[in-house]
Amino acid sequence: MSTTSEPLRLITRDDVAPLAAGAAVFGTGGGGAVHTTQLSVETAIERFGPVRLMTVDELGPDDAVILLSGIGAPSVGIEMLGATAQVHTLIAEVERIIGRPVTAVMAAEIGGSNGVAPVGWAASLGVAVLDADGMGRAFPKSTMISMNVAGLASEFAVMGDVIGNVSVLRTLDMEWLERHARAFTIAAGGIAIGAHYLLTSETAPGAVIEGTVSRAVHVGRRLLESADPVVDMADELGADVLAGGKVIDIERLTEGGFTRGSVTIQGIGADRDRLLRVEIQNENLVVIEDGEIIVSVPDLITIVDTETGEAISTELLRFGQRVSVLAWPCDPLWRTERGLELAGPHAFGYDLAYAPFVSRTAVAR
């Protein structure tokens, strides 16, 4: 398993497909499907040129980094595309508030389209992308972010919809931000984009998960070049393949700005008597077999196409698909007391104790 790789200096058009493939894997089913976003980012880079990827160590005293993300139900995002000027309207309001230019943007989550879209936004804005994110995966709520674990406050947030409405939120804490941001998103038709958490050279170190953009590109490139993608992905991630089979049942609905439900996977061949149920809330949260919890959030669970290894987002799961379920440990930050409080099973309403997932693949090494 590769745990590190040389960081990129520029994100070119050729890097976008690997970034999208890797971000889909880290999306654990959420963050939005990557295909449409990949095309828009490739188009932006063709028009505006490559995007500089800067590390946290490279941040200077004049740098201002803002988090950007799409917010809402991924299933809605498939049908409601963003407006070209949407991010410009958002950043103009951010710069009005902070009184200086934004020099870089950062993905709130590296998972799914939210890990890809900031590159296209950066290209059109003419700014850099920080090689980091706030989750190391995808989570459905704004409270579930590394800066909140680190105790860093978000002084404001700016929300924007596809027709140009902008709302500035100054909330008491991240719980209130989640409520108000979700209300704006529902009013916007179920999908919006948001900017929050102004980061600087002083506040970013220790508050973000570093190197995740480079990591997603590296993972995606190995996936796209592999002749045996599921096995190679498990090796690359230090993941276990929990099961391979076919989707035999899906329960999925959109409510309160989330996609919620479950998917049942039946094994094939010698494993045809096995049934795995994966609980979802935008992301894959819990895997259950024979009444036993196999793995749970905040550890990562990704459902991939058995033949191609391509990660399948929760809104694109379909009856009869041949899939494999991969699981691997989360970033250590999420296994802290504060991390589990914000993003452990109880945070999603599950009455179960978190048991850290230990990958047999990683232990074997």
Mean pLDDT of the chain: 91
338: pLDDT strictly greater than 90:
yes
232: pLDDT strictly greater than 70:
yes
DSSP string for 192-247: EEEEEEEE-TTTSTTTSEETHHHHHHHHHHHHHH-SSHHHHHHHHHT-EEEEEEEE
290: pLDDT strictly greater than 50:
yes
Amino acid at 3: T
> Same fold for the domain at 10-212 and the one at 228-364?
no
Give the pLDDT band (50/70/90) at residue 163: confident
Task: Give domain 10-212's CATH number out of 3.60.15.10, 3.40.1610.10, 3.40.50.1980, 3.40.1190.20.
Answer: 3.40.1610.10
| Domain ranges for the chain | 10-212, 228-364
Burial level of 36, CB count in 10 A (0-12/13-18/19+)? Answer: middle
User: Residues 266, 321: contact at Cβ < 8 Å?
Assistant: no
C-alpha distances in angstroms, 41 versus 12, 17, 85, 299? 10, 10, 14, 29
User: Residues 241, 276: contact at Cβ < 8 Å?
Assistant: no
Amino acid at 193: I
**How confident is the model at residue 23, as a pLDDT?**
97
Least reliable range by pLDDT among 274-283, 323-332, 355-364: 355-364
- Helix/strand/coil for 47: helix
**How confident is the model at residue 78, as a pLDDT?**
54
Give the pLDDT band (50/70/90) at residue 87: very high
56: pLDDT strictly greater than 60:
yes
**How confident is the model at residue 82, as a pLDDT?**
63
Give the pLDDT band (50/70/90) at residue 13: very high
User: Residues 125, 66: contact at Cβ < 8 Å?
Assistant: no
**How confident is the model at residue 315, as a pLDDT?**
82
Least reliable range by pLDDT among 52-66, 77-91, 104-118: 77-91
> HSE of 297 in the Cβ direction (CA atoms, 13 Å)?
34
**How confident is the model at residue 114, as a pLDDT?**
93
**How confident is the model at residue 16, as a pLDDT?**
98
The full length of the chain comes to: 365
Across-strand partners of 104?
65, 128
What integer is the mean pLDDT of 107-132? 96
What integer is the mean pLDDT of 223-228? 95
40-44 own/partner pairs: CB under 8 Å, 24+ apart: 40/82, 40/117, 40/120, 41/16, 41/116, 41/117, 41/119, 41/120, 41/123, 42/13, 42/16, 42/17, 43/120, 44/119, 44/120, 44/121, 44/123, 44/124
Cβ partners under 8 Å of residue 326, min gap 6:
230, 233, 234, 237, 239, 240, 241, 242, 301, 302, 303, 304
Q: What is the CATH number of domain 228-364?
A: 2.40.390.10
Q: What is the pTM of this model?
A: 0.91
The residue behind tokens 């008597």 is: 273
